[in-house]
Amino acid sequence: MADTLTAPPAAPAPPTAVDEAALGPGHPLGETVIEVRNLSKVYRDFWGRKKVRALNALSLDVKRGEVFGLLGPNGSGKTTTLKMLLGLLFPTEGSIRILGKSATDVSKNEKIGYLPEESYLYRFLNAEETLDFYGRLFKMTKAQRRAKTDELLKLVKIEHARKRQLKEYSKGMTRRIGLAQALINDPEIVFLDEPTSGLDPNGRADVKDLILGLKAQGKTVVMCSHLLAEIEDVCDRIAILSGGELKLLGTVDELLRSRGETQIVTPELSPEALAEVQAVLAKHHVIAGVTQPKKTLEDLFLRTVSEAEARPGRTFSAQDLPGEVPPADDDLPGTTSAGIPPESADKV
């Protein structure tokens, strides 16, 4: 049917809900493991006077097995949010439930891993000693600590430097040992604040694989990053914060789908085949193997942030950002990856 060619008009998701249909069938999402309601944080100065409202009325849910990305410009409240989820900061208002417990309940931390924005590792320990130290904090036996250390040093690819003191580590190597530390307790939920900062492209690819590996094991990952391509590749859903407020929330697939356009993906077509396709399009408006083209997450991010500045106090859905192509009135595709302009079908 021709109408299968056009993007279904997507209703904006309610602010906190996980659109499970958009995640695709069989997506291994479980119960809600993080529930944030109306969360606000005001930093105060030494005298208790209000200094900065870092977060304002944030509400969202994260499901088990999800990779969730928190995006936003510098100072938009991402790290503040993570720290409140971890119970390292007290909210000014609002509530957080993690694995059914309050964020301030320290017993939940046994099942949580955290890579902070800045490393807080002991510079005079080597990699093995570092992981052994954190293993002890989680009361792992000596044999468990040894096995886990070997596994994690291999995973983050710093086995060759296992005996070197961390003060001699490069920035990227420090990030890698930080990641290993975050996974020492085999956590159910992992919070990663800028996991690839300081990493080279290979290191970034390794971290991407590592996150996808965690997801494959059914772990939940919440991460902040300014590297949008990386977020786009690994995250199921994203939230974009600006000025401490949630501006956009949804699945990456849904948010990046270009509405009002149709993309036809085929192997390279011969001129004859292309002419036949055009003829068929013109005659029936029906074709197999059609997908919707994607815009980049970088583009979506930049437009959301600039719109947030231009129209303060608003929350957006993907459709009402400027530059969106409205859904087509008829079934004829607007553009195709095969380079068929809309008018050419009429000419056949």
Ligand X SMILES: Nc1ncnc2c1ncn2[C@@H]1O[C@H](COP(=O)(O)OP(=O)(O)OP(=O)(O)O)[C@@H](O)[C@H]1O
Nearest approach, Cβ of residue 332 and ligand X (Å): 43
DSSP lists the bridge partners of residue 101 as 98
> Which CB sits closer to Mg ion, 23 or 55?
55
Given the structure tokens 């900065």, which residue do they identify?
A: 52
Q: What is the DSSP string of 194-246?
A: STTTT--HHHHHHHHHHHHHHHHTT-EEEEE-S-HHHHHHH-SEEEEEETTEE
Residue 48 Ramachandran class (φ > 0 left, ψ -120 to 50 alpha, else beta) = left
Which residue, 74 or 270, has its beta carbon nearer to Mg ion? 74
In the complex, the smallest distance separating the C-beta of residue 83 from ligand X, rounded to whole angstroms, is: 8
Q: Judged by CB, which is closer to ligand X: 315, or 344?
A: 315
Residue 72 contact among ligand X, Mg ion, none, beta carbon within 5 to 8 Å by kind: ligand X
Query: Which one of ligand X, Mg ion, none interacts with residue 149, CB within 5 to 8 A by kind?
Result: none
Q: Which is nearer to ligand X, 74 or 107 (CB)?
A: 74
Q: Does residue 80 interact with Mg ion by CB under 5 A?
A: no
Query: Minimum distance between the CB of residue 207 and Mg ion, rounded to whole angstroms?
Result: 17
* Separation CA 92–CA 225 (nearest Å): 25
Q: Is residue 257 helix, strand or coil?
A: strand
One of 6, 56, 79, 185 touching Mg ion (CB under 5 A):
79
Beta strands 67-71; 220-224: pairing state: parallel
Instruction: Give the residue nearest to Mg ion (CB).
Output: 79
Q: How far is the CB of 58 from ligand X (least distance, A)?
A: 11
Q: Which helix (H) or strand (E) holds 177?
A: helix 171-182
Binding positions for ligand X, rule: CB under 6 A: 43, 51-52, 54, 72, 74-80, 117
Cα distance between the two ends of the chain: 20
The entry of Mg ion, ligand X, none near residue 63 (CB within 5 to 8 angstroms by kind) is: none
51 binds, among ligand X, Mg ion, none (CB under 5 to 8 A by kind): ligand X
Q: From residue 110 to residue 149, what is the string marking binding to Mg ion with x (rule CB under 5 A)? A: -------x--------------------------------
298: tokens are 């970088």
Calpha distance 31→208 (Å, rounded): 24
CB of 50 to ligand X, least distance (A): 10
**74 binds, options ligand X, Mg ion, none, Cβ within 5 to 8 A by partner type:** ligand X
CA distance 294 to 310: 25
Least Å from the CB of residue 80 to ligand X: 3
For ligand X, give the closer residue by CB, 207 or 345.
Answer: 207
| Angle of the 171-182 helix axis to the 201-216 helix axis, nearest 10 | 10
> SS3 for 92?
coil
Shortest Cβ 226–ligand X spacing (Å): 6
Residue 52 binding partner per list ligand X, Mg ion, none, with a CB distance cut-off of 5 to 8 Å that depends on partner kind: ligand X
What is the nearest approach in angstroms of Mg ion to the Cβ of residue 117?
5
- 343: Cβ contacts below 8 Å, ≥ 6 apart: none
Q: Which two tokens stand for residue 321?
A: 């950002």
Residues that bind Mg ion (CB under 5 A): 78-79, 117
